[in-house]
C-alpha cells in the first residue's frame, strides 16, 4: 500500500469559540482522487482552508510528503506543493487571463518551465488561449472555473485541492469540468475534492469521506459509499 501524500490527524479548527473541525483525521495517497462530501456547514471547505494554510488549526497535525506542515503560512504550503482552487473561483477580475495564470506561478523563478506549463494549460483549456488578453471578470462562469484550475496548476502542485468546482455552473459545463478533473488526475495529479454534488464526486473519486458537523462519520471506497443506504438517502436524494 502506498504511503499517504497528505495525512491529517485529530485536526481541530475554530472560528473564535465555534469549533468547525472537531478533530478530523483523513489521508490522501499519491495519484488518488479523494472526495469529501457532506451537507452545507459540515466543515468541508474549512478542512481545505486548514490544509492550505488559510486557517490555522488549534490542535492536531497535518503531514505532507512525510513532513509536518501544521500551521505554516499559505505561501509556504503552496511552495511545498499544495494548490487550492477556492469555492467561487476567486480569479482576479481586473487582470487578463494571462496575468491570472502568471499569478499562479508567483513563487517560481524557472521562466522556461513556467512558459512550458502555461502552454500545457492552454492545451488543456483552448478557450483560455483564445481569450488570453481578455479580462478575467468578463469570462463565463465555466471559463472562470477553468481559469481558476489553470492558475492553480501553474504552481506545479503535487496535490490539488478543489472546493466546489461545479458551484453555479450549468449541467453541461459541470460535465466538462469533471472530465477535466479526471484528465488532470490521469496525468498524475493527486486531488482532494470538496463537492456538493455527491453523486458526481463519488463517481469520479477513488475513495471518499463523509463529514457531518465538523466530524468524519464515514470513510470508504467511493463505489461502496455510492451504494451505502445512508449515503444514498442523505446525500444522493434517494429514500
Task: List the chain domain ranges.
Answer: 4-235
Q: Between 64 and 90, whose confidence is greater?
A: 64
Interval 96-112 mean pLDDT: 86
CATH of 4-235, one of 3.30.390.10, 1.10.287.70, 3.40.50.300, 2.60.40.1180: 3.40.50.300
Task: Look at residue 239 in the predicted model and tell me its pLDDT.
Answer: 55
Cell of 37: 462530501
Interval 167-172 mean pLDDT: 85
Interval 183-193 mean pLDDT: 93
C-alpha–C-alpha distance, residues 126 and 128, integer Å: 5
Per-residue pLDDT reduced to its tens digit, 124-138: 899 999 999 999 989
Task: Look at residue 238 in the predicted model and tell me its pLDDT.
Answer: 67
Runs of H (alpha helix) within the chain: 44-51, 74-80, 97-104, 111-124, 126-130, 141-153, 171-186, 198-204, 222-227, 229-235
Interval 58-66 mean pLDDT: 96
Angle, helix 171-186 to helix 111-124, in steps of 10 degrees = 140
- Name residues whose C-beta falls within 8 Å of residue 117's C-beta, 6 or more positions apart in sequence: 105, 153, 154, 156
Q: Which pTM was predicted?
A: 0.90
Amino acid at each position: 500500500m502506498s504511503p499517504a501524500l497528505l495525512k491529517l490527524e485529530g485536526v481541530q479548527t475554530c472560528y473564535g469559540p465555534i469549533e468547525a473541525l472537531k478533530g478530523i483525521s483523513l489521508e490522501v495517497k499519491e495519484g488518488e482522487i479523494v472526495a469529501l462530501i457532506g451537507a452545507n456547514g459540515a466543515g468541508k471547505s474549512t478542512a481545505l482552508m486548514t490544509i492550505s494554510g488559510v486557517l490555522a488549526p488549534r490542535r492536531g497535525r497535518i503531514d505532507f510528503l512525510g513532513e509536518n506542515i501544521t500551521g505554516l503560512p499559505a505561501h509556504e504550503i503552496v511552495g511545498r506543493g499544495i494548490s487550492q482552487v477556492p469555492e467561487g473561483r476567486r480569479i482576479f477580475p481586473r487582470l487578463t487571463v494571462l496575468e491570472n495564470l502568471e499569478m499562479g506561478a508567483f513563487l517560481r523563478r524557472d521562466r522556461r518551465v513556467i512558459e512550458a506549463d502555461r502552454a500545457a494549460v492552454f492545451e488543456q483549456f483552448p478557450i483560455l488561449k483564445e481569450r488570453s488578453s481578455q479580462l478575467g471578470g468578463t469570462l463565463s462562469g465555466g471559463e472562470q472555473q477553468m481559469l481558476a484550475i489553470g492558475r492553480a496548476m501553474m504552481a506545479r502542485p503535487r496535490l490539488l485541492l478543489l472546493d466546489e468546482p461545479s458551484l453555479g455552473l450549468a449541467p453541461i459545463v459541470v460535465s466538462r469540468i469533471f472530465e477535466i478533473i479526471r484528465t488532470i488526475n490521469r496525468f498524475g495529479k493527486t486531488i482532494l475534492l470538496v463537492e456538493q454534488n455527491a453523486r458526481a464526486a463519488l463517481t469520479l473519486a477513488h475513495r471518499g469521506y463523509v463529514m457531518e458537523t465538523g466530524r468524519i462519520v464515514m470513510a470508504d471506497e467511493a463505489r461502496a459509499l455510492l451504494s451505502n443506504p445512508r449515503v444514498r438517502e442523505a446525500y444522493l436524494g434517494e429514500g
